[in-house]
Amino acid sequence: MNKIKNIFLAAAAVSAFAACKTEVKTTEPTHGSADFSRYVAVGNSLTAGYADGGLYLDGQQNSYPSIIAKQMQGAGGGTFTQPLFSADQANGSGYITLTGFDQNGSPVTAPVTSNLAIRGVVNIPSFGNVTTYTKYTGDINNYGVPGIKLLHITLNTYGNLNGYFERLLPGNAGTNTTSYLDFVTAKPFTFFTNWLGNNDALGYATSGGAGDVLTDKATFAQLYTLLLTRMTANGAKGVCATIPDVTSIPYFNTVTPALILANVQKANPAAQAIYINAKSNADPTGTAYAARPATANDLITLTFPTSKIGQPVASAGNLPYGLTPLTPIDNQYVLDANEVAIVKDYVTYYNNTIKSVAASKGIAVADMYTFFNDIAKNGLVVDGVNLNAKFISGGLFSLDGVHLTPRGYAIVANQFIKALNAQYNATVPLANVAQYRSVKFPN
Amino acid sequence: MRRILLFLVTFLPVATFAQGFQVNLAGQKQIGMGHTGTGLAQDGASVFFNPGAVAMLSQNSIQAGISPLLFKSAFNPAGTNDIYRTSNEVGTPFSAYAVWGPKASFWKVGLGVYTPFGGLTNWGNNWEGKYVVESLNLKAIYFQPTISIKLADFISIGGGFVYNHGEVDLSRAIPLANASGQDGQAELKGSGKGYGWNAGVYVKTESGVTVGLSYRSKVKTTINNGDAFFTVPGSLQASFPQPNTFSASLPLPATTTLGLGFYPSKKWTVAFDANLVSWHVYKALEFDYAKNTSALQDTYSPRQYRDAFSLRAGTEYRPVNKWAIRAGGGVASAAARNGYVTPEVPDAKRYYLTGGLGYTLANRLDLDLSFEFEHLFARKQTNIESQLSGTFRSNVYIPGVSLSYHW
């Protein structure tokens, strides 16, 4: 009897201690010399929360600016409104999902085509077709516009050429005359992040150096200075980010020449090389291209349809595609070694510009170039998760191989927060990376 | 959208596993006195503290006690104001001893069943370190038959054989999200066994001071055919074959203790213990899965523990016949080096304060109550393997009760 009573006593004693909390003192969030009461984000698709080849609600809700704004809440951050797609048009532009793996372990994807926010397609004279999306009206803190280059920020007609920008403007495509720079600076703000400039190099790179041109260096410097002058005109502080080395992303490192060759050799062991149509020199203005065997220094895009390899090419005497100097892989699928050198040279220039202009204005810099290069080389371990720059399995990049997963965006948000904390002597708390997902796998 | 190959699942469930969390709860009288007892011959708990002292016990006895343990740990990730806390789960370390020998004989035999190592930590499945560990329940139950011999009136020796039954249940999240964005789960659950021994010597000096020296050997505990459960998105299940099993071995370290007993008056006992735990045997933790895939490799996690020591002092006072009051405390160093602290067992330097009360319920029947408060010093760590970075703070609350019958 006594023993039972004593066990009850002991149990009562234990439950009493359950109420004791282990005392923990944490750092109070502070804003330092910055003011987060109205934070705006300027940038492209990465800023908008673009992922898996599209802009959709889930991606928007995990955009790095929204994560930063959430972390700023305790340090005087104000409300942060994003131009979200509505719940019944949650799939926005549409995107791709992973549906499984084939017998080789290759990922199989499918487009999401329901619940889109597509309004229509408008033909803009001397430009082409522009897809438009359901208009957004209301306050905006996240000005991320997929596709925008630094080159475009002063263009009055840009609201007619980019459906994602048109979506934010009151007028319909064809009637807009507001430049991006005027639009984002129309309403006063106290703090900004700026991650523009990626597309000035990425557009050229992802088209294999064939479908787009690199923004002129002097133009880049002039526009970046203009941008920061305008952004800081009313005393706002902020963070600028450098441009990652576009060749370090899975879009260029997943399908490799060696891999294609190995696949060919399974059927035809005698195959010696695959051929590409490559730039003859590293002069950006040069136009000479010639076929040659691909090497490890040539990058094949993730979008290259590998099923084309070996198909007879009628215009070249039915020689197999990609396997002879007469039937090389088309330029648009290859960022060859010379093109890589050109892109690297431009990105280095752009980043030096970003760093020096930001420094001249006393603005913090989040060095994404160095950060992502380090990840590509060494990987990154966060909260017990091994991350790297590999396609799908790396955890950072979404299914398009260019844009990030929510976990990738959370890591980017933390890089911004670290930079602003250091520059402005603030203590904005870091986001919990483990709380954000990587690529979704089908059940 | 067909793309060449390229998918190797490379998410290693990087093994993390607890250090055998040392539990010093081997007898209510001794807990009350700050875990001293190696240099004393108090009761059946000498089977654990110093088998050499068993032959010096004046009576035969049988006793059992339990010490419900509440380990409350909090974690503040570096650079954040987030706080994560372990849930209020109660571990149940226990001890039971029987000691018998003919009256006035030179020998005694004993049996001890006790839980010298264990851990119960549950951080939940929604905290920042969920990919390192969600919960761990580790138990080691030692069974120790013992014999002790009085060589002379002033010296006795003893030794025992140790059989350990170990159990582990470890859960963690796997960073593979399913279609609804939920994490995968890994659970490793199994039991195993190990063997060891202990020995001790007990001396009554001419000055009246008693001295004890005891040694408990390393017990290498091996788990074979433990269940390895992996819940992952269906499209990846082939990379995590089910059913699967694992084997692992965990060396529970040797302990060497020197104890002293002083008796300032008939009613008053003072004891000191110095204790060295040879944690250096815990170099790494390896998991060997029966079925491996490119995603599920055997794992090796360095632990690199170093030897730890503790210093303890305690006292018992018997103001009146039926009552005893006890108090004590001690300090202990950390076994886990910087960079190797894991949330299953957020090891740190610590101190503890204890108190106890003994009451004679009836002739031959004693009730002992004990209480311990243990405080682990705040420890800011970035784990080398997981890069989980932040500050751990832990407190432990341990009430306890035992009954002994002696004749």
A236-291 per-position pLDDT tens digit: 999 999 999 988 899 999 999 999 998 889 888 888 899 999 998 888 888 889 99
Mean pLDDT of B271-278: 93
**Residue A159 in contact with residue A177, Cβ under 8 Å?**
yes
What span, in angstroms and rounded, lies between the C-alpha atoms of B30 and B49? 9
- Cross-chain Cβ contact B77/A101 below 8 Å: no
Nearest to B361 among A2, A107, A418 (CB): A2
At residue B66, the pLDDT reads 93
- Paired residues of B366 in beta bridges: B360, B404
Distance from CA of B6 to the nearest CA of A (A): 6
Contacts of A443 in chain B (CB under 8 A): 178-179, 233-235
Q: Which of residues 232-271 of B touch A (CB under 8 A)?
A: 232-236
- Cross-chain Cβ contact B1/A302 below 8 Å: no
Nearest to A106 among B2, B80, B127 (CB): B2
Q: Residue B165, Cβ neighbours under 10 Å: how many?
A: 15
Query: Could you report the per-residue pLDDT of A53-71, keeping only the tens digit for each?
Result: 999 999 999 999 999 999 9
- Paired residues of B84 in beta bridges: B75
Q: What percent of chain A has pLDDT over 70?
A: 96
- Paired residues of B345 in beta bridges: B342
- If you count them, how many residues does chain A have? 443
DSSP category for residue A436: S
Contacts of A302 in chain B (CB under 8 A): 3
Contacts of A108 in chain B (CB under 8 A): 1-2
Distance from CA of A75 to the nearest CA of B (A): 11
At residue A284, the pLDDT reads 85
Q: Residue B361 — left, alpha, or beta (φ > 0 → left; ψ -120 to 50 → alpha)?
A: alpha
- Cross-chain Cβ contact B129/A430 below 8 Å: no
**Residue A43 in contact with residue A368, Cβ under 8 Å?**
no
- Cross-chain Cβ contact A385/B393 below 8 Å: no
Q: Which of residues 374-393 of B touch A (CB under 8 A)?
A: 385-388, 391, 393
Distance from CA of A439 to the nearest CA of B (A): 7
Confidence of residue B272 (pLDDT cuts 50, 70, 90): very high
The residue with tokens 């410097």 is A221
> Which tokens belong to A131?
């897809």
Nearest to A254 among B3, B14, B388 (CB): B3
- Cross-chain Cβ contact A6/B367 below 8 Å: yes
Q: Is the dihedral of CA A70, A74, A80, A86 positive or negative?
A: positive
| Average pLDDT for chain B | 88
Q: What percent of chain B has pLDDT over 70?
A: 95
Mean pLDDT of A172-183: 95
Backbone phi, then psi, for B398, in 5-degree steps?
-135, 95
Q: Give the best residue of A8, A24, A388, A399 to mutate against chain B (max B CB count within 10 A).
A: A24
Asked if B13 has any chain A CB less than 8 Å from its own CB, the reply is: no
Domains, chain A, with CATH or none: 39-251+337-435 (3.40.50.1110), 257-295+299-335 (no CATH)
Query: Among the CATH numbers 2.40.160.60, 3.30.1600.10, 3.20.20.70, 3.40.50.880, which is that of B28-406?
Result: 2.40.160.60
At residue A429, the pLDDT reads 96
Query: Could you report the per-residue pLDDT of A370-418, keeping only the tens digit for each?
Result: 999 999 999 999 998 999 999 998 999 999 999 999 999 999 999 999 9
Domain boundaries, chain B: 28-406
What span, in angstroms and rounded, lies between the C-alpha atoms of B97 and B111? 6
DSSP category for residue A89: G
Contacts of B89 in chain A (CB under 8 A): none
Distance from CA of B398 to the nearest CA of A (A): 7
Spell out the alpha helix ranges (H) of B87-216.
none
Bond before B243 cis per omega within 30 degrees:
yes
Strand B155-174 and strand B184-204: pairing? antiparallel
Mean pLDDT of A77-95: 97
- Cross-chain Cβ contact B397/A28 below 8 Å: no
Greatest Cα pair distance, chain B, in angstroms, is: 90
Nearest to A10 among B8, B395, B401 (CB): B401
Asked if A244 has any chain B CB less than 8 Å from its own CB, the reply is: no
Mean pLDDT of B14-29: 60
Say whether pLDDT at A351 is over 90: yes
- Cross-chain Cβ contact B7/A106 below 8 Å: yes
Say whether pLDDT at B349 is over 70: yes
At residue B252, the pLDDT reads 85
| Average pLDDT for chain A | 93
HEC sequence for B185-247:
EEEEEEEEEEEEEEEEEEEECCCCCEEEEEEECCEEEEEEEEEEEEECCHHHHHHCCCCEEEE
Mean pLDDT of B99-115: 93
Confidence of residue A1 (pLDDT cuts 50, 70, 90): very low
Asked if A379 has any chain B CB less than 8 Å from its own CB, the reply is: no
What span, in angstroms and rounded, lies between the C-alpha atoms of A362 and A237? 8
Mean pLDDT of A140-167: 97
Asked if A374 has any chain B CB less than 8 Å from its own CB, the reply is: no
- Cross-chain Cβ contact A18/B11 below 8 Å: no
Asked if A301 has any chain B CB less than 8 Å from its own CB, the reply is: no
Asked if A96 has any chain B CB less than 8 Å from its own CB, the reply is: yes
Task: Tally the C-alpha atoms within 13 A of residue A441's C-alpha that lie toward its C-beta.
Answer: 24
Mean pLDDT of A316-326: 91
DSSP category for residue A231: H
Say whether pLDDT at B214 is over 90: yes
What span, in angstroms and rounded, lies between the C-alpha atoms of B2 and B309? 61
Asked if B362 has any chain A CB less than 8 Å from its own CB, the reply is: no
Q: Which residue of B has its CA nearest to A429?
A: B80
Q: Which residue of B has its CA nearest to A381?
A: B387
- Paired residues of B198 in beta bridges: B160, B216
Say whether pLDDT at B239 is over 90: no
Contacts of B79 in chain A (CB under 8 A): 27, 418, 429-430
By the 10 Å C-beta count (0-12 exposed, 13-18 middle, 19+ buried), A43 is classed as buried
| Listed residue (A254, A226, A230, A220) closest to A347, CA to CA | A220
Greatest Cα pair distance, chain A, in angstroms, is: 100
Confidence of residue A12 (pLDDT cuts 50, 70, 90): low
At residue A3, the pLDDT reads 53
- Cross-chain Cβ contact A443/B235 below 8 Å: yes
Nearest to A382 among B9, B80, B387 (CB): B387
Q: Who has greater pLDDT, B139 or A214?
A: A214
At residue B9, the pLDDT reads 36
At residue B13, the pLDDT reads 35
Q: Which of residues 49-78 of B touch A (CB under 8 A)?
A: 66, 68, 70, 72-74, 76-78
Confidence of residue B1 (pLDDT cuts 50, 70, 90): very low
Asked if A20 has any chain B CB less than 8 Å from its own CB, the reply is: yes
Say whether pLDDT at A226 is over 50: yes
What span, in angstroms and rounded, lies between the C-alpha atoms of B232 and A90? 27
Q: Which residue of A has its CA nearest to B76?
A: A26
Backbone phi, then psi, for B350, in 5-degree steps?
-150, 160
Distance from CA of A341 to the nearest CA of B (A): 26
Contacts of A434 in chain B (CB under 8 A): 127-131
Q: Transcribe A298-334 into DSSP letters.
A: SEE-TT--GGGTT-EEGGGTTEETTTSTTSPBPGGGE
**Residue B307 in contact with residue B281, Cβ under 8 Å?**
no
What span, in angstroms and rounded, lies between the C-alpha atoms of B369 and B356? 5
At residue A8, the pLDDT reads 58
Contacts of B394 in chain A (CB under 8 A): 22
| Listed residue (A294, A252, A299) closest to A276, CA to CA | A294
Strand B268-277 and strand B308-317: pairing? antiparallel
Backbone phi, then psi, for A10, in 5-degree steps?
-60, -40
Query: Could you report the per-residue pLDDT of B304-334, keeping only the tens digit for each?
Result: 888 989 999 999 999 988 999 999 999 999 8
Confidence of residue A4 (pLDDT cuts 50, 70, 90): low
Nearest to A18 among B70, B83, B234 (CB): B70
Say whether pLDDT at B113 is over 90: yes
Assign A159 to helix, strand or coil. helix
Say whether pLDDT at B194 is over 80: yes
Confidence of residue A101 (pLDDT cuts 50, 70, 90): confident
> A218 Cβ partners below 8 Å, 6+ apart?
none
Q: What percent of chain A has pLDDT over 90?
A: 81
At residue A15, the pLDDT reads 62
Q: Which residue of B has its CA nearest to A106?
A: B5
